[in-house]
A and B are shown apart, each in its own frame.
Chain A
């Protein structure tokens, strides 16, 4: 996880293939982004009830679904109304988030190649669902390195999804996501607690240093030097990491900001607060997972419940990032692997999978807020002004100052990219 310039250089000469140096990858455009916080709604969030305002649904509520036979169009129960100065329509299910409407770029024209959870999820995370590929976070970390050598550069906080989504695949393992369990912060990162106490451990490490150092006859033995450094860093991490993730010393105001003082919002609020703390500490990519969006049943009740759990914490996160000056170089990405059908099946109380069109939103560093970008057909079935996953990835990399066509890794005789041979940067999203 820690890789000094030296060990990286050594690592690459030992067969890591190409090393991404920012200078060579640099995009021509001025990029603000230093880190990404990805709020992932697992299961396929309904877009028409939340961020994709479809007036025709309201007008024609109850008609036979013209696209998908056997369904009837059902309008959102809670209306989407204009918010902020920009007046973009956001569901009233999110009263707190609405206050930041002018910061949000609603991406209404998303589409995915798969309507199957696992595949679509993998596509969203890795750009591919046929093969095992590195995760978006791994690519970013590989491209930009880390700002804090004492923390993993790619962290998932209760992601609730399989490792195929945050693995490093053929990239070296240091680029994989490290899972953090927000409910057990005492043991958030494995092996961080010394069972023999720091004093004895220091004595152990001193002797270890002597033994290793005796063998350092060869001043060019960078691997042994790297090893010696790795123990010293590990020793320091034992105190620095718990400090970073300690939320017990946060003020009541801060806790309230994230809704951690409230039962409904406490769990997700804690995840958001941790995301902010990791941002502050220099982590490159942070994913927060929230489950339960696969609402085939009782969608109106359930989406209200989910919105309730998330609304306050997300608004708190945005405000807190602003307060400490991190908002302008943090890219927040919010969304799901796909959306949901505008119609209900006969007798059903929920919506089914809809990958032809759905919504995500972005905010923060370099994102042009207060707008709807892309669009779906009149009821939201299909993306009309479409943005696919590769476009999304290309745009995020661009916002982070990386040209997605240049961020490559040699494996199996060819150069791989997060965006494969696809991806168009969506200029309209960029401020």
Chain B
């Protein structure tokens, strides 16, 4: 019942349909009352706004007055405004009649629909917007009052207010498996679990945390989360879906950034504006270029008209930067002012200019079906070309880059579809051949041999000439309005004005986003990290911290983590360690009836939430437990540099590889059965949160897929091979050990008595078929003959049966809920 209520409520508050119906309701029933009865004291136009409460925008009502928020949408009981009108205290001289009061109740229950966001006075609107919680400065909560762990101090305070006693700490087996999956995305081996269990009680936990944070698996696990947000894919997507042979460099950059604990502010700045940063050596130079691959890896509709193509690409970049880092849906303001958040369409085009003045060196040349393949790349400096860098041979370097690009393009044009007209081909060829000739002529002697060492990378750079962009009316590229100078959205312009004269402004944008005082950036980030560890966010909206995103369940906690993150120099490892060291993290996920009754959604963290493993973790764990995980991997450029279509070798490799999932070449619209079955997000879209489904196709996959069956059989065969070598061990002990081994390996714990008994019965199932009974004539002591039975066991047959049973048992454990969850 509770769940149903929540859902119906969410429909009312979120769907456009509800918005419309709700707005109508508001306009007919509520607005007239507000205007005639309340505005005179409670609006921005009132001479003296009573109690600091204005009621003339939705935001103002949400922010409330001196006494805090006046309405909590959906919650009549928590909305002081309602108390006032119901009790007749307000309006003071002229209480509302019962019917009207009921309308107010209904309106708040509906989620307080209100369409007055189009405020006549933009400045008032902005001022109110800045009062919204996520735009307010992060203030470190007073944490001196807590003894011991601060996270626990904050969490437990809320729990004790609610009279809830949290559950006990999880047992050792669960803790170690939880840490392994959460920190490196793989389960512990049987031996690793044992090591922990036998370790020194007071130090082993922290030691394990430190070791795992230092493991390369850390970047492979946490890098994957960022790649979801970065909509990482290795082809252009859409209809042409051209291959990106070098996008993997960016993927590796992300993995390394997490492994090297690159400060998160640098992580931001390098991805948005790496090309504009100073560099001390060529390693830096390369790093900065690879990082900006972030901007270039979005999907592109190569066949769109030039203007549309560029507008869509810029939009993709605005979206990934603002939603990815700030949790702001600025790209909603592409066609019209933002419907909920304080972004005007002009705000959008102010930021648009930054990207419009940026050149994309993504290796793609826009064109239709017949034309257009290879475009310009940026290039990395390496050992062979290092002296060019050292001697600052800038002109020579760029000429070499041009030559490399032109040569590749000339080759590419020669492969254009036969339907491209001869004039087209000739025109494009001629143009480039001329440029190539000129570049070669300009290049001083002795440099051309460097050409073969140039390694392509996807990157960006500022255009040579800066130009302001025009607002596209209704987002239509052929319907341009006024020019909008480059700037940040107005709601943020209480900051010093940035100077965009000679550069695109990406650097200024990046440093502003990464500034330690930015109220959004670090809240968004710590909330995502929290979600990956706790299975739920402090705010369950991971890419929208605007009005529709709602409010955090524990703002103190969010502010503490955010300020702590900034104070500890933006270290992800420090942040994660702080969280996993808390008691809150170590709790078991056990059910507790009493607690459940008062906090069914576990908002207050009285227990740990069970987390379904992500698709990659399920695949990696299967490979790991079966001993097949391949530590090496190949990148697309090892298969092909041609971008037109994936080669057979590449697509075969994608299906067959046993490397960790993050390294599987990530072409767009490419199916990888196991990952798709377990909710891998569409890599064409930014995904700050994944769906979790439980459906029978997953069951069918784990029950019947030949790869799974083979894996289980091989595991069983391996165990039996070892059994055979243990010659004289008592069979019953051997079988017992086998069962313990598979439980420990797959679930990270030994079986309990009941499980063991059932597993043993299953293991021995059918072995009687290997027994034959012979009748033997015997002579008794008394000399009389009698018939006796003699059981003969066909050992080979029995072993075969048991090996088969063991394979089935392994598969059963893989199918359990426990295997696919982190408890």
A residues lining the B interface (CB < 8 Å):
1-3, 7, 9-19, 21, 24-25, 116-119, 122, 129-132, 162-164, 167-170, 172-174, 190-196, 200-201, 203-205, 207-208, 210-212, 214-215, 217-218, 220-221, 223-224, 226-228, 230-231, 233-235, 237-238, 403, 405-406, 408, 410-415, 417
Contacts and interface: CB of A to CB of B under 8 A. Distances in A.
A252 B694 CA distance: 41
Contacts of A15: 540, 689, 691-692
Interface centre among B546, B549, B610 (most CB of A within 10 A): B610
A96 to B, nearest CB: 35
B441 interface: no
A234 B699 contact: yes
Contacts of A10: 3
Interface string B536-558: 00001001101011000000000
B301 A129 contact: yes
A412 B698 contact: no
Contacts of B775: none
B117 interface: no
B696 A2 contact: yes
The 8 closest A-B pairs by CB, nearest first: A118-B239, A218-B591, A413-B329, A406-B17, A234-B699, A415-B16, A132-B684, A234-B696
B591 A220 contact: yes
Given A11-B692, A230-B696, A122 B676 contact: no
Contacts of B701: 190-191
Contacts of B774: none
Contacts of A174: 693, 695
B564 to A, nearest CB: 26
Interface string B1-34: 0011011101100111101100000000000000
Given A12-B7, A413-B544, A208 B671 contact: no
A405 B755 contact: no
Contacts of B767: none
Contact of A227 (B7, B332, B546, B817): B817
B758 A207 contact: yes
A162 B695 contact: no
Contacts, number: 234
A24 B339 contact: no
A16 B6 CA distance: 13
A84 B97 CA distance: 65
26 contacts: A2-B695, A7-B694, A11-B692, A18-B15, A19-B7, A24-B17, A119-B239, A119-B303, A119-B304, A162-B669, A173-B676, A173-B691, A190-B673, A194-B703, A215-B818, A218-B596, A220-B591, A231-B703, A231-B815, A408-B17, A412-B319, A412-B323, A412-B329, A413-B329, A413-B544, A415-B16
B238 A164 contact: yes
Interface stretch (B45-53, B778-786, B805-813): B805-813
B671 A221 contact: no
Contacts of B704: 191-195, 238
A208 B815 contact: yes
Contacts of B11: 18-19, 21, 24
B762 interface: yes
A237 B239 CA distance: 35
Contacts of A207: 758-759, 762, 809, 812
Interface in B662-713: 669, 671, 673, 676, 679, 682, 684-686, 689, 691-701, 703-706, 709
Interface centre among B8, B303, B698, B699 (most CB of A within 10 A): B699
A171 B693 CA distance: 12
Contacts of A25: 17
B568 interface: no
B481 interface: no
Contacts of A193: 704
Contact of A408 (B15, B240, B705, B759): B15
A237 B304 CA distance: 44
Given A174-B693, A214-B755, 7 more contacts: A18-B11, A122-B238, A132-B237, A208-B815, A223-B612, A230-B696, A233-B699
B299 interface: yes
Contact of B596 (A21, A220, A405): A220
Contacts of A238: 700, 704
Contact of B239 (A9, A13, A122, A167): A122
B16 A233 contact: no
A218 B591 CA distance: 6
A206 B673 CA distance: 26
A150 to B, nearest CB: 8
Contact of A220 (B8, B600, B808, B818): B600
A14 B3 CA distance: 11
Contacts of B444: none
B812 to A, nearest CB: 5
Contacts of B692: 11, 14-15, 223
Contacts of B765: 203
A224 B684 CA distance: 31
A116 B817 contact: no
A356 B479 CA distance: 21
Contacts of A130: 301, 304, 308, 312
B699 A230 contact: yes
A132 B682 contact: yes
Given A9-B3, A173-B693, A405 B685 contact: no
A172 B696 contact: no
Contacts of B817: 212, 215, 223-224, 227-228
B614 interface: no
Contacts of B691: 11, 14-16, 172-173
A277 to B, nearest CB: 20
A191 B697 contact: yes
Interface in B304-327: 304, 308, 312, 319, 323
B16 A169 contact: no
Contacts of A223: 610, 612, 692, 694, 817
Contacts of A168: 682
B66 interface: no
A1 to B, nearest CB: 5
B573 to A, nearest CB: 27
Contact of B682 (A21, A167, A230, A413): A167
A14 B609 CA distance: 12
A414 B541 CA distance: 12
A1 B696 contact: yes
Given A174-B693, A211-B755, A196 B17 contact: no
Contacts of B705: 190-191
Contacts of A414: 329, 332, 339
A230 B677 CA distance: 13
A16 B10 CA distance: 11
Contacts of B700: 190-192, 234, 237-238
A27 to B, nearest CB: 11
A169 B693 contact: no
A167 B303 contact: no
Nearest to B319: A412
Interface centre among A169, A174, A191, A224 (most CB of B within 10 A): A191
A199 to B, nearest CB: 11
Interface centre among B10, B331, B368 (most CB of A within 10 A): B10
A414 B337 CA distance: 13
Contacts of A119: 239, 301, 303-304
A326 B205 CA distance: 64
B483 interface: no
Given A118-B303, A231-B696, A412 B17 contact: no
A169 B548 contact: no
B772 interface: no
Interface in B468-513: none
Given A174-B695, A415-B15, A13 B3 contact: yes
A410 B542 CA distance: 13
B590 A234 contact: no
Nearest to B697: A1
Contact of A211 (B303, B673, B812): B812
Contacts of B7: 9, 12-13, 19
